[in-house]
């Protein structure tokens, strides 16, 4: 089984930087995903980490430390459209490659 | 990129009726499909995993007789909510995984089910 924790809500200002943390406990770790989900829509893929370190994609970066069971999603130059839920999801290699999602972090970007 | 089509986008039905939701992979063969349920302001909860040609594997607490899943081909999986009740009202999302790409799941657009 897995236990995935992330903050429920965060607020940040347009143009700023925000870091959303995710901690997990799992056996047979086989990758961590970040998804963005706007209300009433399906999640959209943001990033994938399976090795330790930082993955950068434009304004979004994701970091993973497998030894600490820790990841974060970093959003730079925040825009109003970044207001959404951000879901951390972990895949276990011995669970048929299915994902288990954290509770999601609702980010509100204010002017 | 890979596309997963999910229909219908929304459905309103009377209590006691059954509703079928389809999930199709349009340009790839989906060896495995996943069905999730999401209540308002909550995260995705995995309901079941289906592999083409075999019985679905249901998560604990999900009634297999109520949520019928069929994965008859490599491009189509269906979820039927039988004898729906108001508490089944939720957002249902499917996702598909290909054998050749383990980095991403491809999500359908979701189905908002409202049971009156």
* pLDDT 10s digits, B95-106: 987 665 455 678
Residue A42: what pLDDT?
82
Min Cα–Cα distance to chain A from B33, Å: 9
Give yes or no for A42 touching B (CB within 8 A).
yes
Between CA A6 and CA A62 the distance in angstroms is 14
Closest-approach residue (CA) in chain A for B49: A98
Residue A29 sits at the vertex; the CA angle it makes with A26 and A31, to the nearest 5 degrees, is 125
Per-residue burial over B35-69, b if 16 or more Cβ lie within 10 Å, else e, is bbbbeeeebbbbbbbbebeeebbbeeebeeeebbb
Q: Name residue, tokens 């083409």.
A: B52
Sorted by sequence, the CB contacts under 8 Å of residue B70 that are 6+ apart come out as B50, B77, B78, B80
Tens of pLDDT, residues B31-88:
789 999 988 878 888 899 888 888 899 999 999 999 999 988 889 999 999 999 999 9
Cβ–Cβ below 8 Å for A101 and B45: yes
φ, ψ of residue A80 to 5 degrees: the values are: -60, -35
Give the chain B residue nearest A43 (alpha carbons): B107
Spatial separation of the C-alpha atoms in residues B61 and B30, rounded to whole Å: 26
CA angle B90, B47, B93 (to 5 degrees): 50
């Amino acid at each position: 089984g897995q236990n995935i924790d992330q903050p429920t809500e965060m607020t940040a200002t347009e143009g700023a930087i925000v870091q959303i943390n995710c901690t997990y406990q799992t056996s047979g770790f086989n990758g961590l995903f970040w998804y963005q989900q706007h209300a009433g829509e399906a999640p959209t893929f943001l990033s994938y980490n399976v090795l330790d370190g930082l993955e950068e994609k434009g304004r979004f970066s994701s970091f993973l430390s497998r030894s600490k069971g820790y990841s974060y999603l970093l959003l730079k130059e925040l825009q109003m459209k970044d207001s959404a839920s951000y879901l951390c999801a972990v895949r276990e290699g011995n669970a048929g490659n299915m994902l288990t999602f954290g509770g999601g972090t609702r980010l509100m970007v204010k002017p | 990129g890979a596309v997963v089509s999910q229909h219908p986008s929304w459905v309103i039905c009377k209590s006691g009726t059954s509703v079928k939701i389809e999930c199709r992979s349009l340009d790839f063969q989906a060896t495995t499909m996943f069905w999730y349920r999401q209540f308002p302001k909550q995260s995705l909860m995995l309901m079941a995993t289906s592999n083409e040609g075999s019985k679905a594997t249901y998560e604990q607490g999900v009634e297999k007789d109520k949520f019928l899943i069929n994965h008859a081909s490599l491009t189509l999986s269906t979820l039927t909510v039988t004898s729906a009740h108001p508490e089944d009202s939720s957002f249902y999302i499917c996702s598909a995984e290909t054998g050749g790409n383990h980095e991403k799941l491809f999500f359908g657009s979701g189905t908002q089910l409202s049971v009156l």
